[in-house]
Amino acid sequence: MSRAPKPLSGFPEFLPAQRQVERQVIESLSRTFELHGFANIETRAVEPMDQLLRKGDTSKEVYVLRRLQETDASSDAGMGLHFDLTVPFARYVLENAGKLEFPFRRYQIQKVWRGERPQDGRFREFVQADIDIVGQGTLPFHHDIEVTRVMLSALSGLTGPNAIGLPGFTLQVNNRKLIQGFYTGLGLSAEDGGIDEAMRLIDKLDKVPAEQVRAMLLSEAGLSEEQADACLALAAISTDDDSFVAQVRALGVTNELLDEGLDELAKLLRACAPLVTDQVRIRAELKIARGLDYYTGTVFETRLDGHESLGSICSGGRYDSLASDGRTTYPGVGISFGLSRVLVPLVNKGVLVANRSVPSAVLVALADEASRGESDAVADRLRAHGVPCEVAASAQKFGKQIRYAERRGIPFVWFTDRDGGHQVKDIRTGEQVAADPDTWSPPETDLKPTVLHIDNH
């Protein structure tokens, strides 16, 4: 006796009306990225294992590729599914450097795979949306500002009643130069790993109480009490303008790299201020360090209003030496939006859904099976000028055909008279009017599915 299959944990799938939400988010992001001159690419799903693992201890996250009927163990050996879009992008840049114009702006919206324990907002298969700007040899700091402004614009396009209707976002920014310069000014050393260890522990502040982090700074990083207190004081600074500069200066630490980091972060906040809205904000959050050690300057994390438990849903930063062929280094700055991480919880909770499960705006009614050809011809005339439609599945009574359209969320039903005249009915209002299939079109708001934001509170 066969049984219905059970869902596979960590591999989310959407119903048609939910998938409409995802598609419209992707379309909105793509439109914004392209307005700013970012070219779209898609990289292969697999990468050599030595490339996937070169960032550090990620082996627990990688799905390894293996053929079921494999006879030659070396044929597909050493390949795995990519767990982010940064590693394949770095490889793509190196392979195609001679064919690309730098600075190269790219956006990529694609699935990635991670073998981690599924939980709310974390999946084994999910979609990310990345933007990066990569230079050849050098990349001026103004590109850090550019990437930040583009992502703020993209997030703004997803919020509010006239957009997709996602909750608000807070883009949190810091600068690794600021942190490293401050720690150096305190007397910590990069050579013995003291700076990296302190940075790693401070990055835990979102999940671990400050008192516990202080204890770890003393015991694990070997800091003095004065150094630990200064690190925590720096991490506590959080402002929505460049007033953080004075607060850092008041801590009494001096260092040239600290000065550079303060200057860059202040410039970034000032340049992004005109894009701030009630729903999309930017803050200097000096506790952010980001766990990956290849970040060298600006770093980003983003929180979703009302869903802070998801953690950072949009993160990234500046990396000056992620890609190199031994002769030329390709510095870059980028930010990644966890599209599935945001959408799956909201869709599963019913906060976001499309108003219909099909793209059809019109159902062409069917009087009888003998007239299916005529109904098909009407549908073709509507499609010829961009009206999505479908013909009724069977020649039931018109009342049942209307209820069929209602269940699918189709707003209009098209009728053809015996004498060849045409009428279209808005089944929501009951209004029925004469119409020409060669010229009639529904209102713009009905032409494609609309995303509904449902307040469950």
CATH 3.40.50.800 occupies which residues in the chain?
Answer: 362-453
Mean pLDDT (the chain) is 91
Q: Give the least confident one: 68-82, 104-118, 301-315, 435-449.
A: 68-82
Question: Which neighbouring-strand residues pair with 416?
Answer: 422
CATH superfamily of the 362-453 domain? Anticodon-binding domain (3.40.50.800)
How many angstroms separate the Cα of 203 from the Cα of each of 194, 264, 299, 335? 14, 20, 12, 18
Helices (H), 250-355: 256-272, 339-348
Write out pLDDT tens, residues 212-261.
999 999 999 899 999 999 999 999 999 999 999 999 999 999 999 999 99
Q: What whole-number distance in Å separates Cα of residue 456 and Cα of residue 307?
A: 14
Q: Are strands 46-48 and 79-81 parallel, antiparallel or unpaired?
A: antiparallel
Q: Is 54 left (phi over 0), alpha (psi -120 to 50) or beta?
A: alpha
**Which part of the chain is CATH 3.30.930.10?**
16-353
pLDDT digits (tens, 9 = 90+) for 16-32: 999 999 999 999 999 99
Percent of the chain scoring above 70 in pLDDT? 95
Q: How far apart are the first and last CA of the chain?
A: 43
The CATH topology of domain 16-353 is BirA Bifunctional Protein; domain 2 (3.30.930)
Dihedral sign computed on CA atoms, order 152, 158, 162, 165:
negative
